[in-house]
Amino acid sequence: MAHLPTSVINDESELIQLLLKRQAELNSLLEITQAINKNSSSNVLFEMLEVILNVHLKIGKVRLLIREGEHFYCAARFGGDFENAKTLQQTCQALSDFKNITALRNNADALLNKYEYFVPVFHKDEFLAFVLIGDFDIGHELLGNDLNFVETLINVIVVALENKKLFKERVDRERLQRDMELAVEVQGMLIPRSLPKTGSVEVGATYLPNQNIGGDYFDFIKLGPEEFLWCIADASGKGVSAALLMANLQASLRAWSSVESDLVKVTERLNEIVVSNTNGERFITLFLGLYNEKTRELRYVNAGHNPPILMKDGKIKFLKDGTTIIGAFDKLPSVRVGTEILSPGSLIFNYTDGLVESANEDVYITDEELVDHLVNNSNLSVDDLNEAILRNIQLTNNARMNSDDITILSIRIL
């Protein structure tokens, strides 16, 4: 019986070992892919990775760093003494120019010199992660293959996590968009659809939210045959939370004003509701005006809001009586109700601070300037008056006035 040469036997043995190694690599990739498809957590993927690198590839020391924004964080590590996180982070800067798998022996950096290989991971030319490999004793003929396999394995995991992050961001954006659309719809319900233009009063409003939704609110409520209540308010903050806070304020105001005519009690109750709903973390400035068409008496409460301007019989007065902002204190210190008797032709100009302040354009309108704009346009209808004052402020200051919500509510007594 003929005997095969020893060299042939060795070659066959090495071939078998190589095939088994390739099979193990394919099985590892399959397991990782299945875990990704099952939406396994990043911790599970990193644990699987450590087992593959340490047990199957016999790598003694590994540090996997993944990019997050402008920095890298250590996502997986084993073997050797663990470096100081800050030191490891600083060392990353020295690797930014390495685009390919690189040997680190005799590297000038003391930390990198403790490792043998650097394996970068790129996706669409973006540097996403890298691996530092140490204590890796393998034959030269298999080294290139194993390092390429490590690169492939890390690439699969890191790209999957990156795609997962991007998908989550897209879902969050879509959810926010749906929330915004709902909030816009809710806020649209807050704004009165029609305002009286005839009879004993002429009312005009301009509402310009800084975003699709804003923190301003106004309302005009007919309480009976001879009385009406109006409100203009501004919530701290912007966006969905401010809009929802205002929706709650409107519901509370309409509910309480229908059963209570005492403005002190209404204001105190609104404060209690806002404090309860926001735990004192948000506040609202508002102005409440209650007018009786028969007696021509105006009663009002100004809760920290920009004081409306009253033009009556050729004179100007700022309506300041009231209290502090609501929502900031469990109990309001005091509430003072202001009163005025309004003659025919009287005009009450209500507004929010977005009309007189635009911080991003360094525009700040003084009371005197606003009064001048009001006097110069007081002969116009209330709708034209609102538009003219806003336009004049923008033109005078060469500004768009778009850093905050703007609400104007003008009421002329006939």
Secondary structure (3-state) at 216: strand
User: What is each CA distance from 361 to 6, 47, 98, 358, in whole angstroms?
Assistant: 87, 53, 45, 6
Query: Please, what is the end-to-end C-alpha distance for the chain in angstroms?
Result: 125
Secondary structure (3-state) at 311: strand
Q: At what angle do helices 239-257 and 140-190 cross, to 10 degrees?
A: 30
| Residue found under tokens 């396999």 | 149
Beta carbons within 10 angstroms of residue 386's beta carbon: 24
Q: At what angle do helices 239-257 and 263-278 cross, to 10 degrees?
A: 150
Listed by start position, the domains of the chain span: 10-169, 191-413
Contact status, residue 401 vs residue 354, Cβ threshold 8 Å = yes
- Of 188, 178, 250, 176, nearest to 213 (Cα)? 188
How far is Cα 63 from Cα 82, in angstroms, rounded to an integer?
A: 9
How far is Cα 297 from Cα 200, in angstroms, rounded to an integer?
A: 13
How far is Cα 130 from Cα 122, in angstroms, rounded to an integer?
A: 9
Residue 1, C-beta contacts closer than 8 angstroms, at least 6 positions apart: none
The third-level CATH classification (topology) of the domain covering 191-413 is Phosphatase 2c; domain 1 (3.60.40)
Written as tens digits, the pLDDT of the chain (414 aa) is 444 444 444 566 666 666 777 787 788 888 888 988 888 888 899 899 898 888 888 899 999 988 888 788 888 999 988 887 778 777 776 776 778 888 888 888 888 888 999 888 887 888 888 889 999 877 666 677 888 888 888 889 888 888 888 888 888 888 877 777 776 676 667 778 789 887 889 999 998 877 656 678 899 999 988 999 999 999 887 767 777 788 888 889 999 998 998 999 999 999 999 999 888 788 999 999 999 999 999 999 999 999 999 999 999 999 999 999 999 999 998 999 999 999 999 999 999 999 999 888 888 999 999 999 999 999 999 999 999 999 999 999 998 887 788 999 999 999
282-294 as b/e: b if 16+ CB within 10 A: bbbbbbbbbbbbe
CATH code of domain 10-169? 3.30.450.40
Q: What is the pLDDT of residue 187?
A: 67
Secondary structure (3-state) at 214: coil
Record the pTM. 0.64
How far is Cα 346 from Cα 371, in angstroms, rounded to an integer?
A: 15
Q: What is the pLDDT of residue 4?
A: 41
How far is Cα 187 from Cα 408, in angstroms, rounded to an integer?
A: 16
Q: What is the pLDDT of residue 262?
A: 94
- Of 414, 411, 393, 410, nearest to 402 (Cα)? 393
302-312 as b/e: b if 16+ CB within 10 A: bbbbbbbbbbb
